[in-house]
Chain A
Amino acid sequence: QVQLEQSGAEVKKPGASVKVSCKASGYIFTSYYIHWVRQAPGQGLEWMGIINPSGGSQTYTQKLQGRVTMTRDTSTSTVYVELTSLRSEDTAVYYCARQPGVVAAPLDYWGQGTLVTVSS
């Protein structure tokens, strides 16, 4: 069965960086895009960006340009998101989600979420 297993919760200080992982299983890793979506406490869903595990190309939300990097390791079927220069507003649950490799397709499977807390 399709699974997206995310790494555990993180606590970081302002100005630090965080790297969250998402390990995929149960399907052909390179045939589906991976998105990252975050949700601040009590707030809605915010799209962060997308990576194509096949070629590694990425597209990021303009809001996070320059602070976010998405990478993948095809040998372990794992995708990573790294966020630098953390600030309190980055405190959120971070989700990875899969999209079939078709234009405008939905996010059909989601990881369980990773809580990142930014606090001094």
Chain B
Amino acid sequence: SYVLIQPPSMSVAPGKTARITCGGNNIGSKTVHWYQQKPGQAPVLVIYYDSDRPSGIPERFSGSNSGNTATLTISRVEAGDEADYYCQVWDSSSDQRVFGGGTKLTVL
């Protein structure tokens, strides 16, 4: 089955840039979505189709996908961005949806 690998945690100072990676075999050939989840809340879609932003999501959130790594970039990080972030793909070979293990972002 297809596996997505994310760093378990990362920390960043306010105003800096956070880059959260999602590794998978030839993930660049797949479509990647990113979700933000704050404690006690349901996940929220923040990036879809690799780099598109839903309405209401700040322009500070962006995404890219190439080769074996997809990246969620959060510019000018704010305290309110502190959350868990999950990448997700559709594995067409097995018709299964797959989530990465999640990355806990801490704002220092």
Contact A110 B43 (CB under 8 A): yes
| Bound Cα distance A97, B49 (Å) | 17
In this complex, how many residues of chain B approach chain A with their Cβ under 8 Å: the count is 28
Q: Using Cβ atoms and an 8 Å threshold, which residues of chain B touch A107? A: 33, 35, 43, 45, 88
Contact B33 A44 (CB under 8 A): no
Residue of A nearest to B44 (CB): A110
- Chain A: interface size category: 20 to 34
User: B31, B92, B97, B101: which contacts A44 (Cβ < 8 A)?
Assistant: B101
Q: Using Cβ atoms and an 8 Å threshold, which residues of chain A touch B35? A: 45, 107
The answer to whether residues A47 and B43 also contact, given A62-B1, A104-B90, A106-B88 and a CB cut-off of 8 A, is no
Task: Point out residues on B near A: beta carbons under 8 Å.
Answer: 1, 30-31, 33, 35, 37, 42-45, 48-49, 54, 84, 86, 88-90, 92, 94-102
